Amino acid sequence: MLRGQGDGQMIRLSKLTRSWLLLGVLLAGMLVGASAATALEVGEKAPDFTLPGTTGEKISLSQFRGRKAVLIEFYVGESPT
């Protein structure tokens, strides 16, 4: 069975609509994320924060002030509860 030209136009319109919708969602996400986080300028000190370490102890960024470099790595794992 042959599809008519109208079917092809509907498929193209559907793909175009999905593309615009995806673009809109991505832009909205970027705008929301941009308002939630503020960027630091080069050389500016990062704000201090405290997070639990892998063994449960609390670790603060301020503990590492004066060191040459600090690498912060976030892991996603199972919840301990």
- For residue 37, what pLDDT band results from cuts at 50, 70 and 90? low
Q: What is the dihedral of CA 11, 14, 19, 24, to 10 degrees?
A: 170
Q: What is the pLDDT of residue 73?
A: 78
> Cα–Cα distance between 37 and 19 in angstroms, integer?
27
- For residue 42, what pLDDT band results from cuts at 50, 70 and 90? confident
What is the per-residue pLDDT across 44-74, written as a single tens digit (0 to 9) for each? 888 888 988 888 899 999 998 888 888 877 7
Q: Biggest alpha carbon distance in the chain?
A: 74
